[in-house]
Chains A and B, each alone.
Chain A
Amino acid sequence: MALGLKNTDELSLLRTGQAAALAELFDHYRPRLARMIAIRFDSRLHGKVDAEDILQDAFVEAARRIDDFLRRPAVPLFVWLRQITSQILIDTRRHYVDAKMRNVNLETGLDWAQSGEDGSAFFAAQLADSLTTPSQFAVREEMLLELRSTLDSLEPIDREVLVLRHLEELTNDEVAAVLDINRYAASKRYLRALKRLRVAMPVRK
């Protein structure tokens, strides 16, 4: 199957009822979905679930809901798959972390319950992990560490735009679809987030 199809082609492919279409399209987007999971994976889930489990669940869910989606495709296929995956990830986190580890949450000072839907909160949780990274590139690491904490201090929407654009490598259109805003607004929001990041963290010369 030709990959990198236009959205309309993807949808018609799915509609023609080629049974393998969803699996192949899902496979095509798999690396990107896996990247999204990796970025937002709560380290406390390690050993309980892995990215493969999340993807598996996401696929099952997608297969279940594909007909609804095709009836009224509000977003491009990838964005839809990403939404499902992200929801599974949130549910998983809620299941393990929120229910069982509330005391741990309090220690990290992050209000998970309130920022439940906010994907970047996951990202913030990773900060603790990054402290243990071997320090071969100590200087760069330090800079990146600073960047991480600066990101964490930004408004959630700014942080989310930057994570989507850079870490998840989403295009502006995809960001717009994910955030449910128009393209121009998405573009503006990205630039504004960059500016705020720049202000919050003066780049060293």
Chain B
Amino acid sequence: MIDAPHDRDPLDVLADEFAARCRRGESPSPAEYAALHPEHARQIEDLFPAVALMEQLRMQEHARHESAQNAAIRTPPQQVGDFRMVREIGRGGMGVVYEAEQCSLRRRVAVKILPGHVPLPAQRLKRFQREAQTAARLLHTNIVPVFGVGQQEELHYYVMPLIRAVGLDEVIRALRRDPEKRAAGIRTLAAALIEAKFGTQSERDRGTEAQGDTGTEPHRHTGAGRGERSEPQRTTRWSDVAAVGLQAAEALDYAHRQGTLHRDVKPSNLLLDGEGMLCVADFGLASAVDQADAGRSGEVVGTPRYMAPEQLAGRADIRSDVYCLGATLYELLTLRAVADCGEMPGGASDRQSAREPLRPRKIDPAVPPDLETILLKCLAYDPSKRYPSAAELAADLRRFLEDKPIHARRTSGLERAWRWCRRNPALAGVSTVAVLLLIAVATTVTGGYLHVRKAYTETARALDRAEATSQVSLDVLDAIYRQLSPERVWIASDSGTGAEPCRCVALAGGLHMPVPPSEETAALLASLLDIYDRLAEQGGHDFHLMLESAIAARRVGDIQQRLGRLHEAETQYARAIRQLDTLRQRPEANVRIPTELAHTYNEIGAVRAAKLELKEAYQSHQQASALLRAMEQAGPLPEACRYELARTLYFLSNLGLSPNDQGTTGRPRVERETFVVQQSARRLRSSAVAILEELARERPDIADYRFLLALCYRPSAVAYNPAGNSGRLRAIQILENLKEHYPAVADYRYELMATYAWVPVALFPWQGRFPLSAVAEEGLRKALEESEWLVARHPAVPQYACSRALLLAKLGMACWGRQRLTEAEHFFQKALETQEKVTTEFPGLPSRNRVLVQFMRLRLGQICRERGRPENDRDTLDRACQTLQACNEDLGKLTASPDLAEDRLAESLLPVAREAMRDALAACKGDKPAETAEQ
């Protein structure tokens, strides 16, 4: 766009050129211009310095804009103290590790920058420094030495040698991705990972040899096994695990003898190099910087996933480190976290004490029994049953590697059962049938209908026969529910009152072993509700029993909701709410009641929103909000309530109501103005994000906090520019991460799919031109992959099938927009088939799904027509016409259909469809030569 010079003041043209040169980075001088254009000399000298200044201002603004953008993607600090950051080599809850150059010594080091731009309180900072000093005194072959600590502005960091090694967390991740690699042994895999991360050995910087530092260590222990002793009958796989454990145990033992506890042994703190040499990092630092501050009641320190039970109560000793190392080795061996493997989920009342890891040989029968025994001894719930010192663990591991008899004694199955009973006094003395049944149910994870039914009948029989105490029955029922209900949410939301924040850790983040929801399980569970009621009656309306009963009703509602049976779900939720409301009046009522009530209100709101009863949905969520706000008045909200509050905000943000409607009095009104609605949604979501970021930071072990966080980051409206939408990208990042860790959880996959497909449908005529870019199309294809997984795994969930049809239609629209008509037709054909199948397989779905079929047909006809037109391909055009005519007839039938009125959306969609249909059909008939048009 070049301006015509004669339309402008010539001086302006010169000023423009002057400014353009400034923008190119030149520094033109006004005097030079004045000399070139003497006729304007005076004005040039007068005005052009101002032009130059304005351009400087532009640069400043520009720089600020850039830096704001960069800050948004969290660029690492370039220089911290004496250290110049080279690149990021790892990150975790404890901070980010960079490869860095120490400028004064010109050597490569690793710098760990601690999390939080929030300054550490002085007292804690002091401790961090003290711990670092202690750690710096530890000199051992298998301990990463600390060079020093430092602080720059609000960043705290410490410096270590740069070691060519990978954390065991990376090894475990790689093994999970590709279990084939297991056979080759951990060492080989680590070597490959290191090569990928650091380049080949020869590329190494001269100054970086970490081994140079460790090679001069005074305490070079001879016993550090590297797997050379592996016996022929043993694969390297087992000996590698034992060798890793041996080195770590020796390092821990050395530190323990120096009086230092590690407190946070976990895979990411154990670094393995290509030679099989292991180094333990981050000694003692956990206690100094850990964010989980239990305040008055002692401090909880460490990573919950790997923590020993007593650490949850704020106590730690040598045996806690032994436990953590055991948990790490367990995960390395089985690729499953101890926390995910509760053999006996136990009742809600006693979750922590029931913590007993699944025996490794159950996961993989090839695990040598001795190795299993060693690990289980580390992981004993009671510290006195563990190895009393890391040295003894090391000794047993060495015996294992040398194929000598180990000292740890295997516990028999009977003993394990007895111990379990002793920890669960409510069960002691009760018919073992119930206990065995509980175990059977708990381990029947994907058993399907028959198993479930068997479990159910046996439960009923056991309940009758065993004169079970209510507690036993509840535990059994609870176990069954937990296994069968598709819930993930309970992990966070049922975590109790918050008074004992860590009690649910054994199962939190774990037990993601979903049973596909089906109508059979829903029916079974609903009938179990009667048992609850019976129990509650027998127990003289015992508070605890009634609460369990209410929660059970809510869970049945959850399943019904999942199955698309909205009406049934609402009934169950209403029942739960009634019971909870009664309980609220009871003197025993505790903080759990309003929390559960708020949760149930939110679920009922979600159901109502799905039924398009927005006002009712809004009222439900408002009720949840009011309950939680009232609790907030009374004091800081417990964790479960904060999560519920975030959920409430999220649900409200989805309703598409404008902020004025959300006042305390007036009735909500659906607001059309996009921006007002979106702003309001954003405000709600950013509040939710603030809560969830905090929760996710405090409890990285609870996946659902991150899950909801991802949903809140995702923009409320579909994104026109999916590549540049930072919220969508952040959501994808979180969800991909969740998928990696919990590949079997359908909810995570579903939302990942939805986020990839977060582009306009463009299926409906009133949506205007919502063009889909190439990036959008790529997102849709990724979404399709996830969708295929979902439909294959959970054919009974209509939501998955529906979203697949819509996804195919979106892809069809994307291809159409880019004039790839054959492809577009193919996608629409598939979309149509899928959608038709959905409506026949799930007749209970709202009528809008049947209207949607016609929209897809309409588009298919239009595409077909467009494809046939250029060559006047009669066949194709006829097909288009037939498609449209069939569509027209079906629309006629739909209009007459009596159940249509039940679905408001269907009702309002139908006229639009008919109108678009008429236009399309008219256009299509116009294509035909006059003689064939009338038949």
**Is this pair of chains taken from one and the same complex?**
yes
Chain A positions near chain B (C-beta within 8 angstroms): 6-7, 17-24, 26-27, 30, 34-35, 38-39, 47-50, 52-53, 55-57, 59-61, 63-64, 66-67, 76, 88, 91-92, 95-96, 130, 133, 140-141, 143-144, 147-148, 162, 165-167, 169, 171-174, 182-184, 187-188, 190-191, 194-195, 197-198, 201, 203
Measured between C-beta atoms, what is the minimum distance from B818 to chain A in Å? 6
B51 & A24 in contact (Cβ 8 Å cutoff): no
Would you give the 0/1 interface string for B841-866, flagging 1 where the beta carbon is closer than 8 Å to chain A? 00000000000000000000000000
Residue of A whose beta carbon sits closest to that of B60 = A144
Cα–Cα, bound, A184→B721 (Å): 37
Residue of A whose beta carbon sits closest to that of B12 = A187
Cα–Cα, bound, A6→B47 (Å): 32
A198 & B720 in contact (Cβ 8 Å cutoff): no
B9 & A187 in contact (Cβ 8 Å cutoff): yes
Q: Of B54, B682, B816, which one neighbours A53 at CB under 8 angstroms? A: B682
Residue of A whose beta carbon sits closest to that of B726 = A52
Cα–Cα, bound, A38→B60 (Å): 12
Cα–Cα, bound, A143→B674 (Å): 42
B679 & A95 in contact (Cβ 8 Å cutoff): yes
Residue of B whose beta carbon sits closest to that of A47 = B686
Cα–Cα, bound, A49→B682 (Å): 7
Residue of A whose beta carbon sits closest to that of B773 = A23
A203 & B51 in contact (Cβ 8 Å cutoff): no
**B234 at the A interface (CB under 8 A):** no
A56 & B720 in contact (Cβ 8 Å cutoff): yes
Q: Identify 16 new A-B residue pairs, CB closer than 8 A, beyond the known A22-B771, A172-B8.
A: A19-B771, A20-B817, A56-B715, A63-B768, A144-B57, A166-B19, A166-B55, A171-B2, A171-B3, A171-B16, A172-B7, A187-B8, A187-B9, A188-B9, A195-B47, A203-B50
A67 & B768 in contact (Cβ 8 Å cutoff): yes
Q: Which residues of B are found within 8 Å of A35, using beta-carbon distances?
A: 62, 65
A23-B773, A49-B682, A53-B682 known; A194 vs B50 contact (CB < 8 Å): yes
A20 & B8 in contact (Cβ 8 Å cutoff): no
Q: Which residues of B are found within 8 Å of A95, using beta-carbon distances?
A: 659, 675-676, 679
Residue of B whose beta carbon sits closest to that of A173 = B3
Cα–Cα, bound, A80→B4 (Å): 21
Chain B positions near chain A (C-beta within 8 angstroms): 1-4, 7-9, 11-12, 15-16, 19, 23, 46-47, 49-51, 53-58, 60-62, 64-65, 68, 72, 659, 674-676, 678-679, 682-683, 686, 715, 717, 719-721, 724-727, 762, 768-773, 816-819
B719 & A56 in contact (Cβ 8 Å cutoff): yes
Q: Which residues of A are found within 8 Å of B7, using beta-carbon distances?
A: 172, 182-184, 187
B772 & A191 in contact (Cβ 8 Å cutoff): no
A55 & B721 in contact (Cβ 8 Å cutoff): yes
B61 & A39 in contact (Cβ 8 Å cutoff): yes
Cα–Cα, bound, A19→B763 (Å): 13
A172-B8, A198-B50 known; A167 vs B57 contact (CB < 8 Å): yes
Q: Of A20, A96, A169, which one neighbours B771 at CB under 8 angstroms? A: A20
Q: Of B68, B721, B727, B762, which one neighbours A38 at CB under 8 angstroms? A: B68
Cα–Cα, bound, A47→B50 (Å): 35
Cα–Cα, bound, A110→B419 (Å): 74
A7 & B58 in contact (Cβ 8 Å cutoff): no
Q: Which residues of A are found within 8 Å of B678, using beta-carbon distances?
A: 53, 57
Q: Which residues of B are found within 8 Å of A183, using beta-carbon distances?
A: 3-4, 7-8
A144 & B15 in contact (Cβ 8 Å cutoff): no
Closest 6 CB pairs of A and B: A19-B817, A187-B8, A38-B65, A183-B7, A166-B54, A20-B771
What are 15 residue pairs bridging A and B, where the CB atoms are less than 8 Å apart in the complex?
A: A23-B773, A24-B771, A52-B721, A55-B721, A63-B720, A76-B1, A140-B56, A169-B23, A174-B1, A183-B4, A187-B7, A187-B8, A187-B9, A194-B47, A194-B50
Residue of A whose beta carbon sits closest to that of B816 = A19
Cα–Cα, bound, A144→B56 (Å): 8
Cα–Cα, bound, A195→B51 (Å): 10
Q: Of B65, B682, B717, B769, which one neighbours A22 at CB under 8 angstroms? A: B769
Measured between C-beta atoms, what is the minimum distance from B290 to chain A in Å? 27
Q: Of A55, A66, A91, A141, which one neighbours B675 at CB under 8 angstroms? A: A91
Cα–Cα, bound, A64→B715 (Å): 19
Cα–Cα, bound, A52→B717 (Å): 12
A147-B57, A184-B8, A198-B50 known; A24 vs B15 contact (CB < 8 Å): no
Q: Which residues of A are found within 8 Å of B724, using beta-carbon distances?
A: 30, 52, 55
Residue of A whose beta carbon sits closest to that of B818 = A20
A52-B724, A53-B682, A144-B56 known; A197 vs B1 contact (CB < 8 Å): no
Q: Which residues of B are found within 8 Å of A133, using beta-carbon distances?
A: 64
Q: Which residues of A are found within 8 Å of B56, using beta-carbon distances?
A: 140, 143-144
Q: Of A47, A162, A182, which one neighbours B54 at CB under 8 angstroms? A: A162
Measured between C-beta atoms, what is the minimum distance from A30 to chain B in Å? 8
B58 & A167 in contact (Cβ 8 Å cutoff): yes
Measured between C-beta atoms, what is the minimum distance from B320 to chain A in Å? 40
A95-B679, A187-B7 known; A20 vs B772 contact (CB < 8 Å): yes
B51 & A148 in contact (Cβ 8 Å cutoff): no
B53 & A60 in contact (Cβ 8 Å cutoff): no
A92-B675, A172-B3 known; A194 vs B715 contact (CB < 8 Å): no
Cα–Cα, bound, A187→B659 (Å): 44
Q: Which residues of B are found within 8 Å of A66, using beta-carbon distances?
A: 768-769
Measured between C-beta atoms, what is the minimum distance from A122 to chain B in Å? 12
Measured between C-beta atoms, what is the minimum distance from B591 to chain A in Å? 31
Measured between C-beta atoms, what is the minimum distance from B77 to chain A in Å? 14
Measured between C-beta atoms, what is the minimum distance from B859 to chain A in Å? 13
A21 & B3 in contact (Cβ 8 Å cutoff): no
B771 & A191 in contact (Cβ 8 Å cutoff): no
Residue of A whose beta carbon sits closest to that of B678 = A57
Cα–Cα, bound, A146→B619 (Å): 53
Q: Which residues of B are found within 8 Å of A197, using beta-carbon distances?
A: 50, 54
Cα–Cα, bound, A195→B2 (Å): 24
Q: Which residues of A are found within 8 Å of B19, using beta-carbon distances?
A: 165-166
Q: Of B64, B682, B720, which one neighbours A59 at CB under 8 angstroms? A: B720
Cα–Cα, bound, A76→B1 (Å): 10
Residue of A whose beta carbon sits closest to that of B720 = A59
Residue of A whose beta carbon sits closest to that of B4 = A183
Q: Which residues of A are found within 8 Å of B719, using beta-carbon distances?
A: 56
Measured between C-beta atoms, what is the minimum distance from B537 to chain A in Å? 52
B715 & A53 in contact (Cβ 8 Å cutoff): yes
- Taking each of A7, A39, A49, A60, which has the highest tally of chain B beta carbons within 10 Å of its own beta carbon? A60
Cα–Cα, bound, A57→B56 (Å): 31
Cα–Cα, bound, A7→B3 (Å): 13
Q: Of B50, B679, B686, which one neighbours A92 at CB under 8 angstroms? A: B679
Q: Which residues of A are found within 8 Å of B2, using beta-carbon distances?
A: 171
A27 & B53 in contact (Cβ 8 Å cutoff): no
Q: Of A22, A57, A140, A195, which one neighbours B674 at CB under 8 angstroms? A: A57
Cα–Cα, bound, A190→B11 (Å): 10
A52 & B817 in contact (Cβ 8 Å cutoff): no
A50 & B726 in contact (Cβ 8 Å cutoff): yes
Cα–Cα, bound, A8→B409 (Å): 86
Q: Which residues of A are found within 8 Å of B726, using beta-carbon distances?
A: 50, 52
A19-B772, A38-B68, A144-B53 known; A173 vs B1 contact (CB < 8 Å): yes
